[in-house]
C-alpha cells in the first residue's frame, strides 16, 4: 500500500512539475493563440470593424464570403500553389539531402551551409531579389533559359506564369526540410542496408524499401508543415505582385488581409480565417489518416 501511495504521490508531484515546466508555453498559447482564436470565432458572426459599435450579424459574413467570386478564386490560387509547391519542395529537399549525405562528398559541410542559407534570409528581401531574377528580358532565370534557345515567359506579368514563378522561388527555400531529411537519413540503421545487400538488393531497391520507409516520419512531417504553410502564403504575393496580374496571385491570406486592414471588415476577415482553419485542420486530419498507411514508426 505504502509503495502504491508513494508512487501516486510521485506521479502527482511529477504532474505538477510537468505543468510548471510547460507553463510559459501554455500561458503564451492561451493568451496569444487560443484567446484570439476564440475571439475571432465570435467576431466572425459580427460586423466588427474595430472602430464602430459591433452588431451580431449571424452567418451573413459566411454567406457573403461564399457568394464572393474572388473568394473562390483565392482558394483556387492557394490550392494550386500548395498542391504543386509542397510535393516539389519535398522531392527537391530529399534529393539534395541524399546528395549531401554522401560521406565521400568533399566540402559537404560547405554545400550544406550554402543550400541552407536562403532559409535564414528575410522573405521580404528575398522577394525583392526574385523580382529581378524573374525579370523577363534581363533576369537570370530567362537568361539561363535563353542558353538553350528557350524564350522565358514574363514570370510576374503573365497570369499563366506568375504562380509557377513563385513556386520556383519557393524551391530555393528548402534548407529547413533538407536538414530534417539529413537528420532522418543519418538515423537509418546501417545494418538494414547490409542485410539488403546480402540479399542482393541494388541501390534503388534499398532506397525504396529501406530509406523511404525509415525516413517516412520525416517526409510526413515536412508534408504536413509544408501544406499548412503553403495555405498561408502571403509575403511573396504582397511584395512581388500585389495579388496580380489579374488576380493570378490573389492568395487566400492576402485576400483576408485586404478585408481586415483595407476595408475595415474584421468580421468578414474573421469568417475567412475560420474557414481556412477548418480547411487546414480537415486536410491535416485526412493526411494523418492517410499517413497511418505509409508512415513507418519502427514499431
By the criterion CB under 8 A, which residues form the site for another protein? 17, 20-21, 23-24, 27, 47, 49-52, 55, 70, 131-132, 135-139, 154-159, 241-247, 250, 258, 260-264
What count of other Cβ atoms lies within 10 Å of the Cβ of residue 112? 19
- Minimal distance, residue 66 CB to another protein, in Å: 15
C-beta of 229 vs 258, nearer to another protein? 258
Cis before 161 (ω within 30): no
C-beta of 49 vs 284, nearer to another protein? 49
What count of other Cβ atoms lies within 10 Å of the Cβ of residue 49? 15
* Residue 131 · residue 240 · CB < 8 Å: yes
The rounded distance, in Å, linking the Cα atoms of 162 and 168 is: 10
Residue 199 half-sphere exposure toward CB, CA atoms < 13 A: 12
The rounded distance, in Å, linking the Cα atoms of 181 and 43 is: 41
C-beta of 43 vs 215, nearer to another protein? 43
Give how far Cα 30 sits from Cα of 136, 137, 288, Å: 48, 51, 25
Query: DSSP code of 243?
Result: T
- Minimal distance, residue 12 CB to another protein, in Å: 15
CA quadruple 169, 165, 134, 151: dihedral sign = positive
C-beta of 14 vs 197, nearer to another protein? 14
- Minimal distance, residue 256 CB to another protein, in Å: 13
C-beta of 61 vs 211, nearer to another protein? 61
- Minimal distance, residue 288 CB to another protein, in Å: 32
C-beta of 136 vs 164, nearer to another protein? 136
C-beta of 219 vs 269, nearer to another protein? 269
Region class of 77: left (phi > 0), else alpha (psi between -120 and 50), else beta = alpha
The rounded distance, in Å, linking the Cα atoms of 217 and 296 is: 7
- Minimal distance, residue 135 CB to another protein, in Å: 3
- Minimal distance, residue 239 CB to another protein, in Å: 12
- Minimal distance, residue 26 CB to another protein, in Å: 12
C-beta of 30 vs 50, nearer to another protein? 50
Task: Please state the separation of Cα 123 from the chain's center in Å.
Answer: 14
- Minimal distance, residue 269 CB to another protein, in Å: 11
Residues whose CB falls within 8 Å of the CB of residue 228, separated by 6 or more in sequence, listed in order:
280, 284
Q: Name the phi and psi angles at 52, rounded to 5.
A: -105, 165
Amino acid at each position: 500500500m505504502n509503495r502504491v501511495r508513494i508512487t501516486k504521490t510521485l506521479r502527482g508531484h511529477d504532474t505538477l512539475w510537468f505543468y510548471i515546466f510547460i507553463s510559459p508555453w501554455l500561458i503564451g498559447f492561451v493568451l496569444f493563440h487560443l484567446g484570439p482564436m476564440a475571439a475571432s470565432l465570435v467576431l466572425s458572426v459580427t460586423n466588427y470593424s474595430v472602430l464602430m459599435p459591433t452588431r451580431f450579424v449571424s452567418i451573413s459574413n459566411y454567406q457573403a464570403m461564399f457568394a464572393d467570386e474572388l473568394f473562390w478564386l483565392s482558394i483556387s490560387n492557394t490550392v494550386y500553389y500548395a498542391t504543386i509547391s509542397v510535393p516539389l519542395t519535398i522531392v527537391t529537399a530529399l534529393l539534395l539531402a541524399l546528395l549531401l549525405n554522401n560521406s565521400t562528398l568533399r566540402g559537404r559541410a560547405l554545400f550544406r551551409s550554402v543550400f541552407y542559407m536562403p532559409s535564414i534570409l528575410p522573405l521580404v528581401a528575398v522577394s525583392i531579389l526574385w523580382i529581378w531574377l524573374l525579370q523577363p528580358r534581363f533576369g537570370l532565370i530567362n537568361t539561363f533559359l535563353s542558353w538553350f534557345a528557350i524564350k522565358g515567359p514574363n514570370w510576374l506579368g503573365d497570369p499563366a506564369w506568375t504562380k509557377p514563378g513563385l513556386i520556383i522561388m519557393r524551391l530555393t527555400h528548402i534548407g529547413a526540410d533538407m536538414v530534417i531529411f539529413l537528420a532522418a537519413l543519418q538515423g537509418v540503421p546501417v545494418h538494414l542496408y547490409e542485410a539488403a545487400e546480402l540479399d542482393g538488393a541494388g541501390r534503388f531497391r534499398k532506397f525504396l524499401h529501406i530509406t523511404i520507409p525509415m525516413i517516412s516520419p520525416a517526409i510526413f512531417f515536412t508534408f504536413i508543415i509544408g501544406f499548412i504553410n503553403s495555405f498561408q502564403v502571403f509575403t511573396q504575393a504582397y511584395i512581388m505582385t500585389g495579388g496580380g496580374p489579374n488576380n493570378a496571385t490573389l492568395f487566400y491570406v492576402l485576400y483576408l488581409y485586404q478585408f481586415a486592414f483595407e476595408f475595415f471588415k474584421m468580421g468578414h476577415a474573421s469568417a475567412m480565417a475560420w474557414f481556412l482553419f477548418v480547411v487546414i485542420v480537415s486536410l491535416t486530419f485526412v493526411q494523418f489518416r492517410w499517413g497511418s498507411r505509409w508512415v513507418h514508426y519502427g514499431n
